[in-house]
Structure 1
Amino acid sequence: MVSDGRTPPISDLQTLRAMTHPLRWRMYELLLTRGPSTASRLGQIVSATPGHLSYHLHELARYGYVEEAPELQQDGRERWWRAITGGVRWSSETLADTEAGREAERRLETLMLNRQHERLRTWWDSRPTEEAAWQQAAYTTDAVATLTASELEQMTREMQDVISKWCEHGRNAIAGSTPDQVMSGPEARRPIFVFAYAFPEQP
């Protein structure tokens, strides 16, 4: 059965710990950015055996981050998997009230931060070889705004609304297309990685 298209917020320590596995996180990233795949195909990218990856795919499915894509199977021998959009979400108020919860949260936050910076570094390193249109369209900025806590919450919601709008636009635009169709031609589309932080600086 196809999901409703959103990952569930993490509400228990077991799931939080499950998503701190670096390989599991990488597989979820690949399925989000490159589209449905099999354990064998993923193994060509992350240099792991199909059996090992199959185990982690089942774990990701168990926790609501991927699902099978049976309509893509051609010979019935290997399962296809697709990512469920929505990302990894949790509430510190719910999960960080114990030492074990705080430790798992810190591990997951560190993993996320490292991967964000690795992906940014990959872009910086490859940027000189990119087409001019993509180099010009890519964006980075920073700013300092003097806000109250409630104003920061409002700004965050507005930023999230804009990001969600364009993510939804992209999903609708590629519905029913293969990865090759999406990434070729004059109107080629590519996965665009967006990440943002907004936090109070120390006085």
Structure 2
Amino acid sequence: MKTPRPQPAQSVTAPRTISRVVPDPTALKALAHPVRLRMLGMLRVDGPATATQLAVRLGLNSGATSYHLRQLAQYGFIEEAPHASRRDRWWRASHELTSVPASEVEGETLDLDLAFNQAILSLQVGQMQQALEEYAELPAEWRKASTASDIIIPMTAEQAEALTKRLTDIILEAMRVAPPLGELAPPDVVPFSIMLHAFPYPGRLPHREGDGEP
């Protein structure tokens, strides 16, 4: 039985509300898993899918895929999606964004923050490598739109925080007037990945007391 193709999304001109989730420590721990992060990303970018479809794309068996989907659903990252097919369970992302504020406390919360960021970084490195491998085959207009920049600016912590907030606001504003992720878009519109990394240049700040070499 063929699945009816969704109609292309209409061009969005008025800003819309972006749905986001701010996971608590328990949910963040469940999400900080490479397979679950990839699953959630696929459901956000490509729209609803079944466990069988995701298993094929991830190279996993359907049992493992179903387990990870249940974990994502348990913590509210995904939900069942209405679908014409009654034989398969379809899943969709519950939100467009996951927001994880920087940890301001020590201990387990900071450890969870670090584990999540490590999992995200590993995923992003893989995506960047794939993008580089595909770069030469991109149409000229998309090569022109792509960039990989490394800019270092002397700043105070307050200035750095203000700058990263401005950059994030610009990106979110572009997202608000774009078609929602996961919907069939016009032919000239594709998901465009923007990865924002900002941090003090390594080795230039003193370690916290008790850290580092004795």
User: Do they fold alike, i.e. is TM over 0.5?
Assistant: yes
- AA aligned opposite 2:98: G
User: How does the TM-score come out when normalised to structure 1?
Assistant: 0.81
Q: 1:109 to 1:153 in 2, by over 3 A?
A: same
Higher relative contact order (CA 8 A, sep 6+): 2
| Helix, strand or coil at the partner of 1:81 | strand
Q: Which amino acid aligns with 2:44?
A: L
**Structure 1 residue 122 corresponds to structure 2 residue 122:** no
Contact map agreement 2:36 2:68 (CA 8 A) in 1: yes
Corresponding residue of 1:97: 106
Whichever residue aligns with residue 97 of structure 1, its letter is E
Paired AA for residue 27 in structure 2: T
1:170 is aligned with what amino acid?
Answer: A
Residue of structure 2 in register with 1:194 after alignment: 194
Q: Secondary structure, in 3 states, of the residue corresponding to 1:82?
A: strand
1:66 counterpart = 2:78: yes
Contact (CA 8 Å) 1:19, 1:25: kept in 2 or not? yes
RMSD of the alignment, in Å? 2.2
Q: 1:86 aligns with which of 97, 107, 110?
A: 97
Partner SS for 2:178: helix
Question: Any idea what SS the aligned residue of 2:193 has?
Answer: coil
Match of 1:48 in 2: 60
C-alpha distance in structure 2 between counterparts of 1:129 and 1:146, whole Å? 37
Say if 2:39 is the partner of 1:11.
no
When normalised by structure 2's length, the TM-score is 0.77
Q: Give the distance between the partners of 1:8 and 1:160, measured in 2 at CA.
A: 16
Residue of 136, 139, 161 corresponding to 2:169? 161
Q: Take 1:123 and 1:79, find their aligned partners in 2: how far apart are those partners? A: 32
Larger Rg: 2
In 2, distance between residues paired with 1:9 and 1:155? 22
Q: Does 1:29 align with 2:37?
A: no
1:106-185 aligned at under 5 Å gives the runs: 106-171=114-179, 177-178=183-184, 182=185, 185=187
**For residues 5 and 146 of structure 1, do their structure 2 counterparts lie closer, same or farther at Cα, with a shift above 3 Å needed?**
closer
By how many angstroms is 1:5 displaced?
5.5
Distance 1:90 1:53 in 2: 29
- Counterpart residue number, 2:14: none
Residue number in structure 2 paired with 1:77? 87
Deviation at 1:27, TM superposition (A): 0.2
* Higher helix content, 1 or 2: 1
